[in-house]
Amino acid sequence: MIEYFNSFMIAVESLTKQKLRSALTLIGIVIGVASIIGIMTTMEAIQTYMEKSLSVLGSTVFQVQKTPFMNVGPSDRHKYQNRKDIKIEHADAIRDRAKKVANVGAEDWTYGRVIRYKKKSTEPVYLVSGATPEWSPNNGYYVDVGRFLTQLDVDYSRFVMVIGTEVVEDLFPFIYPIGETVKFEGRNFEVVGIIEEQGSEMGQSRNNMLVIPITVYQKIYGKEGSINITISAKSSELLNGAIDEIITIMRAVRKVAPGEDNDFEIFNSESLIAFWNDMSRNLKIGSILISFISLMVAGIGIMNIMMVSVTERTKEIGIRKALGARKKHILTQFLIEAVLLSLTGGLIGVILGVLLGNVVASLMNLSIAIPWFWVVVGLIFCSFVGIASGFWPALKASRLDPIESLRFE
């Protein structure tokens, strides 16, 4: 044991005496480890966020949309564009016929619009939603002050508006907003409610939003295009039954022939999680590949530098052998040097990766994460790289002839 500790100390010493060379050798390792740890850190942060926010969304809510959550290829896009649009009538049909659902809402969204009040105007509002009353429970946003939209607002296309707290701050710093009239898309709206303050998600504030009746929304933006239908099942046990029920109703209403594929998409938090897992798995495999390759290249670099080091230190090896160093002493000294080199690079890589990953995560407003599993895997792999690439040079060193080595200048 003491011998290995000594070999360790000898190795540390000779590495610190050759700082520049050691540093150069480290770069490859640092890149390899930093890239994998950086990506894993970001993934971990997103994962934590996804799990938290999707569980808030509720396990009973699902959506019907014309196109999938994310289009994959150009040919797919074409196929989805040719589908019939989803209309408010579809939502009405579901509301009439489905037995296993609690709330059926029709909604549509747009972004970046401005609201004015007297001389003041807001920043472009992040989220503009045309909605039905079910919007509130289905999305988990509840009104704090005033009221939410009612069915009458929708049926009579009333120009009423529910706003987020940031809109309140922009327009009504000193005035009670309920009952005030604001200008939006050239029309006058009455403010009827304020949504309670929310946390922010993915770098975007969720308080910077406004909601108007979907009928009014369509008067402004037109009736073309698809809406989303948001549905909550009566209970989580009924979720799968409710989804089947909605598929049947939608196929009937949209006259999809038996045997043909659905011409709409359904997804809930589970399928979003599945989609996310799919995407993150590919990203992870990609980053593992990148790291693997750069660590392999780095390993060759370490082998090279160790070979040079062994040659340059032939005299030193001769002296050590003359003083009684055995093969195993020389072997472990150089092996430990190689492992220390790659582990140092690995540690720097871990620190850099965690920092970078968390910078990305905090740009997306996610909480800080450390992917411990990958930190451990990365460091273990670095040790292997060190052993594998240091072995041959170390063996060469241990086999040097003492007399010939001593003669080396």
Residues in contact with another protein by CB under 8 A are 2-3, 6, 10, 13-14, 17, 315-316, 318-327, 329, 402-403, 406
| CB 309, min distance to another protein, A | 13
User: Tokens 């989303």 belong to which residue?
Assistant: 228
**Complete DSSP assignment for 307-341:** HHHHHHTHHHHHHHHHTT--HHHHHHHHHHHHHHH
In the bound state with another protein, the residue whose beta carbon lies nearer, of 24 and 403, is: 403
Question: How many other CB atoms are there within 10 angstroms of residue 173's CB atom?
Answer: 8
Helices 327-363/269-312 angle, 10° precision: 140
State the Cα–Cα distance between residues 29 and 299, nearest whole angstrom. 8
In the bound state with another protein, the residue whose beta carbon lies nearer, of 136 and 405, is: 405
| CB 322, min distance to another protein, A | 6
In terms of Cβ atoms closer than 10 Å to its own Cβ (0-12, 13-18, 19+), residue 161 is buried
Give the list of residues 6+ apart from residue 343 with CB closer than 8 angstroms, or none.
379, 382, 383, 386
In the bound state with another protein, the residue whose beta carbon lies nearer, of 92 and 316, is: 316
| CB 383, min distance to another protein, A | 24
In the bound state with another protein, the residue whose beta carbon lies nearer, of 241 and 402, is: 402
47: nearest Cα among 268, 214, 283, 259 = 283
In the bound state with another protein, the residue whose beta carbon lies nearer, of 13 and 123, is: 13
In the bound state with another protein, the residue whose beta carbon lies nearer, of 296 and 319, is: 319
State the Cα–Cα distance between residues 174 and 109, nearest whole angstrom. 29
| CB 23, min distance to another protein, A | 17
In the bound state with another protein, the residue whose beta carbon lies nearer, of 164 and 318, is: 318
In the bound state with another protein, the residue whose beta carbon lies nearer, of 76 and 404, is: 404
Give the list of residues 6+ apart from residue 76 with CB closer than 8 angstroms, or none.
68
State the Cα–Cα distance between residues 164 and 194, nearest whole angstrom. 6
329: nearest Cα among 394, 406, 401 = 394
- What is the longest distance spanned by two Cα atoms in the chain? 102
107: nearest Cα among 78, 87, 85 = 87
Ramachandran area for residue 60 (φ above 0: left; ψ -120 to 50: alpha; else beta) = alpha
In the bound state with another protein, the residue whose beta carbon lies nearer, of 95 and 321, is: 321
What length is written for the chain?
409
In the bound state with another protein, the residue whose beta carbon lies nearer, of 134 and 337, is: 337
| CB 6, min distance to another protein, A | 5
**Residue 152 phi/psi, 5° resolution?**
-65, -40
Report yes or no: 20 and 339 within 8 Å, Cβ to Cβ: no
In the bound state with another protein, the residue whose beta carbon lies nearer, of 87 and 320, is: 320
| CB 17, min distance to another protein, A | 5
Amino acid at 336: I
State the Cα–Cα distance between residues 161 and 163, nearest whole angstrom. 6
| CB 312, min distance to another protein, A | 12
State the Cα–Cα distance between residues 347 and 28, nearest whole angstrom. 13
Q: What is the DSSP letter of 179?
A: T
| CB 310, min distance to another protein, A | 15
